[in-house]
Structure formats: structure tokens, C-alpha cells
Amino acid sequence: MVGVVSLVVAAIVGLSVPADEATGLKSAVCRILHPLSGAEACSSGDYAGGGDGGGDDGGGGGGPGDPFVPNGDPFEPAKCLLSQDQTKTTVVIQILFIKISSSETVKLQQWSDGTVTLERVTETGGGVTASISAGIPGLKDWGGSAKLSGTYLAGSGSGGQWLFNGNKTGDPQADLAANLADAQQFTEYLKAQGKCNSSTGRSELQMICGYHAGKKKPDLEPERAPDVDITKTSTEASGNVSFGGKFKGNGKSGKDSGKSDGPKDLGKISGEVLSGTMTEDVVVMRTNTGVNAGKITFVYTFTVKGTAGAVGLATGERMQQVAVTYDAAAYDQEKKDGDPHHPEKLVITTSQEAGDGGGVKVEAGANAGPVTIDVGGGGGTTKSQIHTESAELILDNDGDSTAVEDWLRGNGDPASNPLPSPSDAAEVPGPDASPLERLLHDKGKLSRLDYNANTDWWNASLGIGFGISAGQFTLGFKLFGIDITHEQKTQTITGNPTYATGPKSGGARPWVEWKNCTRTKPIPT
């Protein structure tokens, strides 16, 4: 178990997770979580196909209805994400083996075409969780331990997104500044309106409050994003390694008896030095209004992340995401009739993040017989670098659609048909290239971006558990627990954004300056 945790953390922080190694790590955790299912369940590939956001960071550009880009190259995406300010608060409550989670995420995004989006999404979920921990041989008396846990959560999300694009002067930089000011003013209106809605008192006082809140609205009101029904399921496997110290009593059975039952564990203080998490999310978004009304998009995301260090933290994360869009009515009918599906759009996004900073996460516990009480917390600041790549493919004929659907469903030889990398898609396809790899090379919009990010976070937790020691292992369960995490993250584009032109002589697709991205600079907030 310590080995699994260490491999996860080492692979992430080192940011060298080849496809076969990532698959091996995932398979190892799967077998721990599903010991009765066997290797077949862990390699079935049922998860293949969909995701969590459609690759906004990759800046894949618009959908089939968008106009061609002004620079005349149909392979150049129309816009990119310049910067993003994100605040997320998550509360997790556990009662016995039941886990309930709730989170709120607010994003303010600046785009290179001069538009700004403001997004607020709340998610709730429930599921089951279990864990097992073991003392590290030779270090158990000093609080050395490792923990491996598995969680299944199913949930849903809702919220709103507002598009600020009312300022259109023909200069994207000027439009961005004006639209950002409107977005910030609208944020203040939402805060004021929220206070009015939550206040108690007479209705006329609430009306007066709402009237003054309305004065905070910008002159140009934003455009509300289309109505989207969202459902989400998540599976998670995680582990951590901690070190610290234990408190022991003298073991006397009575104050004056003089008898001793040997030293007794009274509690411990420990700090987390290694932690790793693997998550797999499936998000289904059914759009009811707007230009994409009648579409259904599946977003499948696989994320591996971890931290190392007791005080100075090194962090890393690697994400692979696939988003596939169908006509909703046709998809429903095909599912009912058992017919093959016909996707209309595919977006592949990969990202990897590495960083370090100051911070600490500690836990203190007390024992009262088999009952344990743990209190934990921590916080810190991390600076990191994020590299993202995106490949967008519009499927406008049956042949291309069938090729993508066959890949999503794992038809053919799965071992020779992994998730293609957007960077690899710009190279000349080899003789053993899959139909999807050839399709991405010939028709995909390929882009690469780099960001600098700053993250401030804090965490607090309380747990009451019941456990029994059996040798090196501690078997038990949590009676009650609550965990609160708050994270504020700002990322800003850096480096030289590039995209791959169409195939040139010899078949390669050169990477060139992404002018639709570099023409506008992000504005500090």
C-alpha cells in the first residue's frame, strides 16, 4: 500500500506519466478497490468516451456554426483562454460509510476575442466510501502510517454562466477591458442581491434592498448562457503517507493499585508528507436552449494528482479528458433501438501541472478505547506551471463519425488504440496509426498553451471513528466526519501560444504563432 501511494506521488510530482505507466497505476488501484471483480472489470474500458468541461483551457474555438477565423487558416482556433480566476469551496460530510459532498465554484474568465464569462456552479453528491490503513514497519511507534481509500460518488450540478460581450469597438483589447469592468460590476450586484435574498425582515425592506442592489448592475447587462441539464458521477481512489509522534499512558489500571497493563496509546500528532489521488468523472450535459439546443455532450475526465513534503509542498497533476457531442434526439433513439451512435464533435484535452510552495497539513488525534477523535487542518500557497493541449474535431460525415465512435467504444485492438496526444497528432502518422490518429492529423484543430498559476488554499477537518488494531493494520470506520476545503486559483497565459497549421509537404503540421490568441493581453484583476 505504501508502494502504491509512493508510485502515484512520484509519478505526478515528476510529471513523467507515460500512457502505459498511467494505465498500470490505474489498474493497480482498480484491483485494490475491486478485488472480487478480477482483471476483466479493471480493463473492460467501459469508462471510455466522455468528460468534464470540453477543454476550455485548450481554446479549441467554436462549434460548427462559428465563422471562419479572420486570418484565413481554417485550422486556427478562433479564440483562447487568457486568464482565469477561480474560487472553489468544498464541504464533505461522512456518516459511517456514507459520504455527502457539496461544492461551489465561481470562475471569471478572459478570452482573446475580447469577451468575458462569469460562471457559478454548485454541485452536490452522495455515495459510499471505505478505507484501510497500516503502520509502516519499524516506524509505527513514531506515527508512520499509510492509508488507501476508495470512494464512489454520484451527483449533479447546476448554476449559471453569463457572457459579457456587449462592448464591440473592433479592438479586442479595448473590448476586453470594458467587458471585464462590466463583469466585475455584475459580480458586486450578485453579492448584494444574495445578501438581500438571505436577509430576514419585512418584505418592503427586502424590496428596498433589492432596489439598491439593482443599481450595481452594469449599463450593458450580460447575456445569460443557455439552459443546460448536468449530471455527474465520480469515482476516486486515494492514499497518503504521514509521520508524527504518538502519546502513550503508563497503563496503570488504578490510581493506587500499582498494577500496570502496559503502555496505552492516547493519541498522536502527524503531518502528511505524501498524498495521491486518482479520480474519474463522467459529466453529461444536455443543452435545452441556445445555438446548441438539442445537443448532448459526454465529458470523461481521468485525473492523477498528488503532493509531497511536510512543510514545503511539491504538487503535480496530470489530466486527460475526452468530450464528445451528439444530437440528443438521435442519441436517445439509437440507444433505445440498440443502434450505433453518431457523434458530431470530439474534443481531446490534456494538461499537466507542476509547482511548489509553502504550506502544511497536519492532524492530531486522541484515543478513548476503540473510539478515536481526529482534528486536522492546514493551508498554504503554491506557484505552478500548467501546460495544456487541445484537439478539436468536427465530424461532418458518417465515415469520420463512425471512426470516432469505434474508438470510443474500444472496437479493434485497445492496446494499439490509446488516447492520442494533440502534439503527436501534428506529426506524420506512422504505418500503424489508428483511424482516429489519422483523422486528428488530417482535420483536427490542434493548439498548445502554457499558464502560470498561483493557488491559495486552506483545509479543516474533524473525524470521530471506531477502529481495531490487528498487527500493523488498523481496521475500522468513521462514525462521523466533516472536511472543508477552500481554494482560490489564478492562472494567466504565458509563453508563446501556438497551433498546428494544415499538413504541409511531407505530411507534418508545423506549429506557428496563434495570432488569434496573442493579439490580446490578459488584464490583471
* 340 DSSP assignment: P
Q: Which residue has the higher pLDDT, 99 or 272?
A: 99
Instruction: For residues 429-436, give the mean pLDDT.
Output: 86
First to last CA, the chain: 44
Tell me if residue 227 falls in helix, strand or coil: coil
Q: What pLDDT sits at residue 453?
A: 94
Q: What pLDDT sits at residue 199?
A: 63
Q: How many CB atoms lie within 10 A of CB 195?
A: 11
User: For 357-409, how does the pLDDT look when each residue is reduced to its tens digit (9 = 90+)?
Assistant: 877 777 777 767 677 788 888 888 889 999 999 999 999 999 999 988 888 87
171 Cβ contact list (under 8 Å, min separation 6): 114
Q: How many CB atoms lie within 10 A of CB 244?
A: 19
Percent pLDDT > 90 in the chain is 27
Distance CA 193, CA 187 (A): 10
C-alpha cell at 308: 509531497
User: For 449-499, how does the pLDDT look when each residue is reduced to its tens digit (9 = 90+)?
Assistant: 999 999 998 989 888 877 665 555 555 667 888 989 999 999 999 978 999
**Orientation angle between helical segments 203-214 and 172-198, nearest 10 degrees:** 170
Q: Which residue has the higher pLDDT, 242 or 295?
A: 295
Burial zone of 88 (CB within 10 Å; 0-12 exposed, 13-18 middle, 19+ buried): middle
| Res. 197 pLDDT band, cuts 50 70 90 | low
Measuring CA to CA, how many Å separate 307 from each of 236, 281, 420? 16, 21, 27
Distance CA 465, CA 97 (A): 11
Measuring CA to CA, how many Å separate 2 from each of 26, 196, 275? 15, 51, 10
**Range with top average pLDDT, 34-43, 171-180, 233-242:** 171-180
pLDDT at 57 over 70: no
Residue of 519, 473, 485, 365 whose CA lies nearest to 137: 473
What size, in residues, is the chain?
A: 525
Measuring CA to CA, how many Å separate 89 from each of 57, 183, 362, 446, 485? 21, 21, 20, 33, 6
> What amino acid is encoded at 308 in this protein?
A
Provide φ and ψ at 508, rounded to 5°: -75, 155
Cell numbers 467501459: residue: 46
Distance CA 331, CA 342 (A): 8
Q: What is the mean pLDDT of the chain?
A: 76
Cβ–Cβ < 8 Å for 499, 76: yes
Instruction: For residues 68-78, give the mean pLDDT.
Output: 72
* 472 DSSP assignment: T
Distance CA 387, CA 352 (A): 6
Cβ–Cβ < 8 Å for 304, 56: no
Angle at 475 between CA 5 and CA 240, to 5 degrees: 20
Measuring CA to CA, how many Å separate 433 from each of 262, 348, 420, 511? 67, 17, 10, 21
Distance CA 57, CA 117 (A): 13
Residue of 425, 487, 498 whose CA lies nearest to 458: 487
C-alpha cell at 302: 481521468
Exposure on the CB side of residue 79, measured as CA atoms within 13 A: 21
Burial zone of 39 (CB within 10 Å; 0-12 exposed, 13-18 middle, 19+ buried): exposed
Instruction: For residues 82-88, give the mean pLDDT.
Output: 94
Strands 223-224 and 511-513: unpaired
pTM of the model: 0.77
Measuring CA to CA, how many Å separate 259 from each of 32, 248, 249? 44, 16, 13
CA 53, 403, 443, 445: dihedral to nearest 10 degrees?
10
Cell numbers 469592468: residue: 181
* 339 DSSP assignment: P
User: Can you give the three-state secondary structure of 133-172, one letter per residue?
Assistant: EEECCCCHHHCCEEEEEEEEEEEEEEEEEEEECCCCCCCH
Range name among 33-47, 227-241, 258-272 with the lowest pLDDT average? 33-47
Residue of 520, 381, 382, 498 whose CA lies nearest to 450: 498
User: Can you give the three-state secondary structure of 430-455, one letter per residue?
Assistant: CCCCCHHHHHHHHHCEEEEEEEEEEE
Cell numbers 460548427: residue: 64
Residue of 142, 40, 139 whose CA lies nearest to 414: 40
**Orientation angle between helical segments 19-33 and 2-13, nearest 10 degrees:** 150
